[in-house]
Structure 1
């Protein structure tokens, strides 16, 4: 966009300005149709702020893409924000600023999810230079002057975090906000560490610049404890006792760790992981299966807004199977269903509910393959490695909110564990895996265990 046009656009977005109608034939929408998703984005932006520091929505402009039952809104809006949460800014003659923000809001079946949020000052002179967001930050550190309110040690930790996880922020203001959240999260991680009874270490992860609300909204699955799902028959128990340890990874029944991205589709990854193992045991072939097929085509569940493994098994049967990941690639948001029966490579015959007795779960796993389970994800935002054993009242089985895959079990230094394949990428936890205490019902790991049946 030419500089003069950009300036006119910024002026048009100032509070009180009126937007022109959408261009004929374009995808732009009238501002009135964008107000609701914009208000939702504003509520998310204002989470955790006191009333006097909350931003106010100005003008809105944007586009929408529709796919299946979902709509993806790409918005630009102005926000007017009070600066008096920063003591230095309160001394300014005009302790307010106008921000230009871009939001992506996914609306599926009336439920909304904020996929991205980037804000910067309208006055572009306040933006960081082209050398990157870290330049002014690094300059302060080199001069021995950490940002206001942060110790030099915390500032150094944040700098290392940004470099390690290749984080980028659109403005100095966003950087300072994320730095503040990071600092608060380090305190929270220390509290979780102090209350853990296992060998787990909690600290810096790639999620350390997200608030708890952002993390839950983007990556977790509240439907797991809110809805019951399809009924399943109980699995036939295994007669022989569980061996002392077992791991399906060493048997070739587990695909590589995947990444659900900014989408609450853990339920789909849990189920495909289970079906991958079942198919391997029956056909001696390991195929990486399509989670996107379930996100798009499972109409009982809610795509990135959550779902239930029991529903997903039924959807696979009704659809006529699963395509491979290569044929139906993961996109991380709902699209129109593009399943083709002739491309289906894997089929299931039924699904079963497993025992809540962890000894029986171990015996079933050793004989029959990896198990889909749901857990309370307390502390997982900051989990780094080791065997997690959170204080029970903090990780109640009544608030399960994340679906994962048990692939094995064993002991480390006499501490029993479940080996759990997660779906947040290999750069989280122990190369993408989570280790949770076994035998105590930790975090509800035993309350929603299930498997597909392949005959």
Structure 2
């Protein structure tokens, strides 16, 4: 639905405040857009329309569209202000740019640390990589062929399943040489009662389910629905990928996390509900975030850039978010829990040759 001339005039009166008008003369810093794009209401509307087209967005009514434009403009202002202040990373107009921060937090997470009877079965003495020495300066399991294409959980609280599957895909490739995309949907449908499908779960429980249930099916054989379905038993006629179990990385121990990462991709939990995380577009993220874990992701490597050490994190919000679906998160912060709590609850699957 395109804006009519009348709609543009209505938007002008409804959405521009004196404060915003006075700020238009400033130099903007929206990555990917020139200052001229943000100097008139017509160009702001054109920018919104272009963003809608790029992300396949449509709205049911002009009222909804006006509301989303207001949120878009507010996020645009936040991006501009943030990009003027921070130097190691930047924000941009990604697919979440028409959502309020509260809406974003409600729709795109799924780690339920408090709601589930979570337990850390493995002790630090069982951490198999504790004796690793002489860590390489950089590790990137994407370059080693152990990471599948970035996936998208959509508005289903299934991040825990995507984090689990990424780690299992990784260790399977390392051990067998075969990179196989596996089914998050099978975990969502079948991994009960500790995990709760689109209502959240934990990676340790999912590892236990895969190990005790005979493996996990291929993505093509059990495709993702973006909602809960009925558990389908397909073990006899279709192949599965198996693991032997899992281990927990010692809590709040970044060196141990790096040791594990030097050997395989690792499932980690973070607090991802900050507004800057929502609109992250690139760079080494060192923004403000707490350690109340709410999102499961996969660490797939580490490295350094311009004096900043980071961990490479594969998200499950599609390839349009961040750095083609990834975020580089600062490490060596001096906080044992790590940035956004990334060192608090890491674990990985085990698989014998």
Both proteins in one fold, TM over 0.5: yes
Aligned residues of 2:308 and 2:330 also touching (Cα < 8 A): yes
Matched residue, 2:221: 327
Matched residue, 1:248: 141
Could you tell me how far apart the structure 2 residues matched to 1:415 and 1:226 are? Answer: 35
Provide Cα deviations, 1:372-412, integer angstroms capped at 9, x if missing partner: 00111122211111111013xxx111x11111111111111
Aligned residues of 1:295 and 1:302 also touching (Cα < 8 A): yes
Higher relative contact order (CA 8 A, sep 6+): 2
Equivalent residue in structure 2 for 1:293, among 178, 181, 186? 186
Aligned residues of 1:293 and 1:339 also touching (Cα < 8 A): no
Distance 1:317 1:205, change over 3 A: same
Matched residue, 2:253: 357
Could you tell me how far apart the structure 1 residues matched to 2:77 and 2:217 are? Answer: 44
Task: Kindly report the root-mean-square deviation, in angstroms, between the aligned alpha carbons of the 2 structures.
Answer: 2.1
Could you tell me how far apart the structure 2 residues matched to 1:134 and 1:238 are? Answer: 62
Residue 318 of structure 1: how far off its partner (Å): 2.9
Residue 191 of structure 1: how far off its partner (Å): 5.5
Distance 1:134 1:225, change over 3 A: farther
Could you tell me how far apart the structure 1 residues matched to 2:218 and 2:254 are? Answer: 32
Matched residue, 2:109: 220
Provide Cα deviations, 1:202-239, integer angstroms capped at 9, x if missing partner: 13110111122221121112513554524331422133
Provide Cα deviations, 1:25-74, integer angstroms capped at 9, x if missing partner: xxxxxxxxxxxxxxxxxxxxxxxxxxxxxxxxxxxxxxxxxxxxxxxxxx
Equivalent residue in structure 2 for 1:318, among 197, 200, 212? 212
Matched residue, 2:271: 376
Q: Does 1:387 align with 2:284?
A: yes
Distance 1:382 1:154, change over 3 A: same
- DSSP-derived class of the 1:374 partner: strand
Distance 1:139 1:201, change over 3 A: farther
Structure 1 or 2, whichever has the larger Rg, is 1
TM-score by length of 1: 0.65
Aligned residues of 1:238 and 1:364 also touching (Cα < 8 A): no
Residue 195 of structure 1: how far off its partner (Å): 6.6
Q: Does 1:186 align with 2:76?
A: yes
Could you tell me how far apart the structure 2 residues matched to 1:418 and 1:228 are? Answer: 29
Structure 1 portions without partners, runs of 5+? 1-132
Q: How many residues of Structure 1 are paired with residues of Structure 2 in the alignment? A: 315
Could you tell me how far apart the structure 2 residues matched to 1:135 and 1:301 are? Answer: 45
Could you tell me how far apart the structure 1 residues matched to 2:109 and 2:265 are? Answer: 21
Equivalent residue in structure 2 for 1:209, among 98, 120, 127? 98
Greater strand fraction, Structure 1 or Structure 2? 1
- DSSP-derived class of the 2:153 partner: coil
- DSSP-derived class of the 1:331 partner: coil
Matched residue, 1:423: 316
Equivalent residue in structure 2 for 1:336, among 224, 230, 234? 230
Equivalent residue in structure 1 for 2:2, among 125, 134, 144? 134
Could you tell me how far apart the structure 1 residues matched to 2:245 and 2:108 are? Answer: 28
Structure 2 portions without partners, runs of 5+? 22-40
Q: Does 1:160 align with 2:50?
A: yes
Aligned residues of 1:230 and 1:311 also touching (Cα < 8 A): no
Aligned residues of 2:97 and 2:279 also touching (Cα < 8 A): yes
Equivalent residue in structure 1 for 2:67, among 164, 173, 177? 177
